[in-house]
Amino acid sequence: MTEGPVAIELSRCEACLARFVPTDGPCPRCGSTRVGPLSVPGVGKVLAATELLVTPPGVRSPNRLALVEVADAVRLLAVVEGPLPGRGALVSVARVGEVYRARAELPPPAERGEGESPRARTSGPSFEPPR
Ligand SMILES: [Zn+2]
């Protein structure tokens, strides 16, 4: 696999070739324990993003989260650094400790509104299913 400037580690099942977020267990699709590491570029597309303004104690507000699809349709939940990305935006993804962190590579689209909800704002898939 190709490696970008920032790579993230996935797992690949040697039996069914499924790609998935690394776990300590067997392949989540077929149960095989023949699982190896797979390094992919840390770039993905935002499927959905949300911004939590009311957060649990100890969590900074606003707390922005994005569901990001990286290589081979593997989806990661990432903490967003910087402005909330719109759906379809390209973001860079890096793993920091146990947390994936995403940052917009391009300016966010102008379509996102401000202050629609006092608690959360969501941009989710609504028009076309992900590939
Ligand atoms: Zn498998």
Tell if the pTM clears 0.85, that is, is over it: no
Residue 45 sits in a domain of what CATH number?
Answer: 2.40.50.840
**What is the Å distance from ligand 1's center to 13 Cα?**
5
**What is the Å distance from ligand 1's center to 130 Cα?**
22
Of all residues in the chain, the percent with pLDDT exceeding 90 is 62
The predicted model gives 56-85 an average pLDDT of 93
**Residue 53 is assigned to a structural domain of this protein:** yes
**Residue 124 is assigned to a structural domain of this protein:** no
**Residue 17 is assigned to a structural domain of this protein:** yes
**What is the Å distance from ligand 1's center to 12 Cα?**
8
Q: Which residues fall inside 5 Å of ion ligand 1, going by CB?
A: 13, 15-16, 18, 27, 29-30, 32
Measure the N-to-C terminal CA separation of the chain; round to a whole number of Å. 20
**Residue 98 is assigned to a structural domain of this protein:** yes
**What is the Å distance from ligand 1's center to 41 Cα?**
22
**Residue 51 is assigned to a structural domain of this protein:** yes
Assign 1 a pLDDT band (cuts: 50, 70, 90). very low
Per-residue pLDDT at 117 exceeds 50: no
Per-residue pLDDT at 48 exceeds 60: yes
Number of domains in the chain: 1
The CB density around residue 14, as the number of other CB atoms within 10 Å, is: 12
The predicted model gives 68-73 an average pLDDT of 92
pLDDT tens, position by position, 34-43: 999 999 999 9
**What is the Å distance from ligand 1's center to 74 Cα?**
14
Residue 62 CA to residue 34 CA, distance in Å, equals 41
**What is the Å distance from ligand 1's center to 25 Cα?**
11
Cα dihedral 40→42→43→46 (10° resolution): 110
**What is the Å distance from ligand 1's center to 8 Cα?**
20
Q: H or E segment at 2? A: none
**Residue 127 is assigned to a structural domain of this protein:** no
Sign for the pseudo-dihedral over CA of 29, 30, 36, 40: negative
The predicted model gives 117-125 an average pLDDT of 50
**Residue 128 is assigned to a structural domain of this protein:** no
Domain hosting 34: range is: 7-106
